[in-house]
Structure 1
Amino acid sequence: MCSTTFEVAQIIERFSIQFQQQYKPNIFILRTLNTIHKCRTASLGGHIEKCDCCGKIRVSYNSCRNRNCPKCQSSKQAFWVEDRVNDALNVKHFHIVFTIPAQLNEICLLNNKWFYNTMFACVAETLRTFGYSHYGVESGAICVLHTWGQTLSFHPHIHCIVPAAGITLKGKAKRIGKQGNYLYPVQMLSATFRGKMLEKIKFQLAKTKVLYKYKSLLNVLWKKPWNVHCEPPLGNSKQIVKYLGKYTHRVAISNQRIKNIDESGVSFFYKDYSDKCKRKILKLSGVEFLRRFSMHILPYRFVKIRYYGIYSSKGKSLLAKTKKIIAKPKETIQERLLRLTGFDVYKCPFCKKGKMFEIGILPRIRSPIIRLFKTKLYVDN
C-alpha cells in the first residue's frame, strides 16, 4: 500500500474552524468531519497486541468506519467485489453512465437527498422500460452514485452495470444485446431519462413553490441533449464487477492524491480528461477544499449502491433459476481480508514471524460532540 505524508484529517484539523465560520455547515457535516479527523487515533480507542514469537507490543487504534473517510474503504471494496462476483450472472455486462447537466446542480443542492433518490428512480425506470420494450425481459442493474469530478467539483452521475440477459414474462432466461456490443440506442435512452427527470423535478419545484425561479431553465434543458454513456461489455461478469468495484467505495479524494498542505492551502493531483488524462496539480485554499469535500458527504443513511430487476432482493428467486448458489464456510473478517488482499492483520510487524494476540483494550475517549470545533456550532434549521 502506498504510504502518504498528508491526509484529509490534517486538512480538517488545520482549516475546520475557518470553514465553519465562513460557511456554517449543518450538524451532520460537522459530525462527519469530526469523525474523519478522529479516525485511528486514541479518541476512538483501540487494542494492545503482543507477538507470540518476539514478545513485542503493538498499539492499534480503531477506525471510524465512516463511508466518507479515505482510510476506511479498501477492505469494504474488496468484500463487496467478492460478494457481487458470487451473485452476478455469468454473462457479459454493459457499463452505462447517466449524467445530470451542470445547470441542475443548484436545484440538486436545495435537497440533495430527494434529488439523488429521484436520479436512482429515473435510471431504474428507464432501464426497466427499455428491457421490456426492446427484448421483452425483466433485466437487472447494479447502480452506484458518484457526485464528484477529479477537482472535487460537483458532478452527480450514476454508474450502472446491466447484464446481457434477463427473464421473460414466462419465466425463462433470455440473452439480450445485439451484435455483442450493442444494448440500447443511447439517444433514446438519454431522451427517456431526461423526460422522467425533468417531470419529477418540475413537480417537486411546484410542490415547494419555487418553480417560477427555474421554469426558464427547465425549458432550456428539455431541448438540450443529456449525456448518457454506454460502453461495450468488458469481459466476463468477474471482470465487470471488479471494474465497477473501482467506483463503489471511493470517497471524493484519497489521501494518496494530496501533495502538500500548508498555511496557504492544499495541493493535490488530478487527471485532466480534457487534456489526454494528463496528471496535473491543483491548489485550493484550505477552506475551499473543505467546502468542496463537504459537498460530497452523502445524506444520513443514504444508500448509494442499489440493485434493480433480477439483481434486487426480490429478484433473487429469478437469479436462482439461472445459477446454482453454493454455500461457503463462514470466514472471519481478518481471514477474508488476508485471502482477498494478502494483508495479514495478525502478522508481527517486528519479527515478521510471530502472530499478534490481544492483551488489552484501550477505551475510546469520551468527549463532547464535535470536540474538534472550538467555536459555537452552527446548525441549519
Structure 2
Amino acid sequence: MNILQKIFTDHYEEIKYTLHPRDTEMENIEKMIHCGDPSFGGAMYHCPHCGNFKYVPFHCHSRFCPSCGNKYSMERTASMTFKLINVKHRHCVFTIDENLRDFFLKERSLLDCLFHSVASVISRMFFELNKSKNFTPGFIMVLHTFGRDLKWNPHIHCLISEGGLSDDGLWRNVHHFNYSFLRSAFRTALLNEMHQRLGDPFKQIKSLCYSSHKKGFYVYAKPSSCDPETAIKYIGRYLGRPVIATSRIDKYDGSMVTFHYNRHEDDKYIQETIPVMDFIKRLIRHIPEKHFKMIRYGGLYARHRKTDQQLHKVISKQKRPILRNFNHWRNAILSSFGYDPLECPICRHKMEFLELYFNHQRLSLEELYERSMSRSRGKRSSA
C-alpha cells in the first residue's frame, strides 16, 4: 500500500459521510484504494527454468491512481504521437481569469465551453490567413484542472500544427501566431459562451473580466516551435497524469500531510503542510465526471474528418511501433522504472503466463501458489 492509498483508507468513512463526494469521486477512490490488492484477482506467472512463481495483482485503471494514471498517460502520449502530422508544432496554454474558476467547479458542464472557445479561435486564426483557401490546422486540446499547489485552476494545453491544409489539398506552413488575436478572441469567445449558458446574472462577472483583462486572457507558448517528438514530450506531461505523484508527499502523520512542489512563477521549492481532509478535498475535486473527455482533437486531427491522400504523405510512419510497445504493461513498467516485471528474480529468465484469477474466487496467496503448482505439474506431465 502506497502512502496515498493509506491516506484514503484511513479516512474512508470520513470522506464518504462528511465530504459527500460525487459518485465518480467515490468510484475512483475505491478503485485506487484496492489497486494491486491480491484478493481482487491477478495473473500467475511461472518460470520454466527454475520453477519459481510470481503473482501479479490486477490494477484499477483509474487515472486518479498514481501508478495507473502514469500508465494511462504513457499510452495516450504514444497514441497521440502516432496521430501527429510530421510537421512543426506549437504548444500553447490558454488560461482564464481567477474569478471564473469557481463557475467551472460548481457547474462542471461549463468545462465544455473551454474546449469550444479554444477550438473556435484557432480555426478562426487560420481562416483569417487565407479565407479563400480555408487552411485547416491540426490541433489537440488537453484540459488540466490543477496547478502545482493542487488548487483548482482549469486551463487548456493545446498542441497546434504550424501550418494547415487547404480545401484544394495544398499545405501552407505558418510560423507566425497572432497571440494578440488569440488572447482577445479567446476571452470574448469564452465569456460569450458562458453568458449564454448562465444568463444575465453572469453580466457583472463578464464586465469585470473585460476591465481586468483589456488585452485578453493570458495565452502563451512553450516551446515556441518544435518537431512532433519534442512537442509530445512537453504536452505528454499533462495527458491524464495523476493529480500528485507519491514522491511529492513528504510526510503523513494521520492528521496532517506535507507535500512539496516547485512554484510555477519562479520555480522556487515550496513545502506545504495542510490538514489531511483539506489535502483530500484538493485531490478529489480534480476527478472528472464519468465519460467526460479530457483530451479532444480538432481540425485535421478530428475523428470525423476524412484524411485525404496528400495528408497521408506527411504523417510519420515511424510512430506505429511506439504505440504497440506501450500497450503492454510490461513494456510500460520497463520504460518507466527500468526493470522487467516478468524477469525471474532467481535465475533472470523470462517468466511465462500460467493462469488468471478473478475476485470472485477470493483465494489466499498460499492457495494461489498451490493451485498454480498443480497446474504447472499438469502441463509438464502432459508434455
Q: TM-score range by the shorter chain?
A: 0.7 to 0.9
Q: 1:15 aligned to 2:11?
A: yes
Give 1:196-207 correspondences, 5 Å limit.
196-206=189-199
CA contact (8 A) 1:198 1:222 kept: no
| 1:224 maps onto 2:205 in alignment | no
The aligned runs of 1:200-215 (5 Å cut-off) are 200-206=193-199, 211-212=200-201, 214-215=202-203
1:95-154 Cα shifts (integer Å, max 9, x gaps): 110112121122112221x21111101100110000111355111211111000111100
Report the equivalent of 1:142: 140
Q: Matched residues in 1 for 2:298 and 2:227: separation?
A: 20
Residue 67 (structure 1) aligned with residue 83 (structure 2) = no
Separation (CA, whole Å) in 2 of partners of 1:260 and 1:365? 36
SS at match of 1:317: coil
Instruction: Give the 3 Å change call, closer, same or farther, for CA 150–327 of structure 1 in structure 2.
Output: closer
1:147-176 Cα shifts (integer Å, max 9, x gaps) = 001111000001011111211232211111
For residue 273 of structure 2, what is the aligned residue in structure 1? Answer: 283
Q: Match of 2:381?
A: none
Among 91, 109, 113, which residue is 1:118 paired with? 113
Secondary structure at the counterpart of residue 356 of structure 2: strand
Alpha-carbon distance between aligned partners in 2 of 1:105 and 1:320, rounded to the nearest angstrom: 40
Other structure's SS at 1:162 match: strand
Alpha carbons of structure 1 residues 352 and 217: separation in structure 2 relative to 1, 3 Å = farther
- Separation in structure 2 between the aligned mates of residue 258 and residue 357 of structure 1, nearest angstrom: 36
Give the Cα separation in 1 of the matches to 2:361 and 2:26: 17
Amino acid at match of 2:107: N
The change in CA–CA distance for 1:236 and 1:296 in structure 2 (over 3 A counts) is same
1:128 equivalent among 109, 123, 143: 123
Partner of 2:165: 167
Question: Which residue does 2:184 correspond to in 1?
Answer: 191
SS in 1 for 2:93: strand
8 A contact 1:144–1:304 mirrored in 2: yes
Q: Does the 8 A contact of 1:173 with 1:322 survive in 2?
A: no
2:157 aligns to what SS in structure 1? strand
Report how many aligned residue pairs link the two structures: 350
Look up the SS of the partner of 1:221 in the other structure: helix
C-alpha change, 1:232 and 1:362, in structure 2 (3 Å) is closer
**3-state DSSP of counterpart to 2:67:** coil
Letter in 2 for 1:229: Y
Give the match for residue 376 of structure 1. Answer: none
2:289 to 293, 299, 318: 299
What's the CA shift string for 1:332-380, capped at 9, x where partnerless? Answer: 72575478556433211x225122223343321599xxxxxxxxxxxxx
CA distance in 2 between counterparts of 1:59 and 1:148 reads 36
The whole-number CA distance in structure 1 between the counterparts of 2:263 and 2:319 is 45
- Distance verdict in 2 for CA 1:217–1:169, change over 3 Å: same
> Are the equivalent residues in 1 in contact too, given 2:90–2:226 (CA < 8 A)?
no
Q: 1:42 aligns with which of 38, 43, 49?
A: 38
Relative contact order, higher structure (CA 8 A, sep 6+): 1
| C-alpha separation in 2, matches of 1:19 and 1:61 | 26
Distance across 1 between alignment mates of 2:105 and 2:197: 14
Give the unaligned 5+ runs of structure 1.
368-381
- The match for 1:55 is 51
CA deviation vs aligned residue, 1:237-292 (integer Å, no higher than 9, x gap): 11111221111131211111111111221111111234x31222111211111111
1:48 partner letter: M
Give the letter for the 2:56 counterpart: S
Q: Which amino acid aligns with 1:140?
A: G
Larger CA deviation: 290-299 vs 8-17: 8-17
Which residue in the other structure is 2:380 paired with?
A: none
Deviation at 1:202, TM superposition (A): 1.0
In structure 2, relative to structure 1, the CA distance for the partners of 1:141 and 1:298 (3 Å cut) is same
Identity %: 24
Contact preservation (8 Å) 1:6, 1:261: no
Please tell me whether residue 353 in structure 1 is matched to residue 374 in structure 2.
Answer: no
Q: Which residue of 2 aligns with 1:235?
A: 226
CA separation of 1:359 and 1:71: change in aligned 2, threshold 3 A:
same
For structure 2, list consecutive stretches of 5 or more residues without a partner in the other structure: 363-383
One-letter amino acid matched to 2:145 = T
Work out whether 1:322 is the aligned partner of 2:345: no
Residue 316 of structure 1 deviates from its aligned partner by: 5.2
In angstroms, what is the RMSD of aligned CA positions?
A: 2.5
Aligned 8 A contact 1:124 1:308 in 2: yes
Q: 1:311 to 1:256 in 2, by over 3 A?
A: same
CA contact (8 A) 1:334 1:345 kept: no
Summarize the Cα distance change of 1:161–1:292 in structure 2 as closer, same or farther, 3 Å threshold. Answer: same
Cα 1:322/1:18, change in 2 over 3 Å: same
- Give the superposition deviation at 1:51: 1.8
Q: Relative to 1, partners in 2 of residues 1:50 and 1:323: Cα closer, same or farther, differing over 3 Å?
A: closer
Distance 1:9 1:334, change over 3 A: closer
Out of 86-95 and 332-341, give the one that drifted further. Answer: 332-341
Which residue identity lines up with residue 95 of structure 1 in the other structure?
H
Distance 1:270 1:191, change over 3 A: same
* 2:366 paired residue number: none
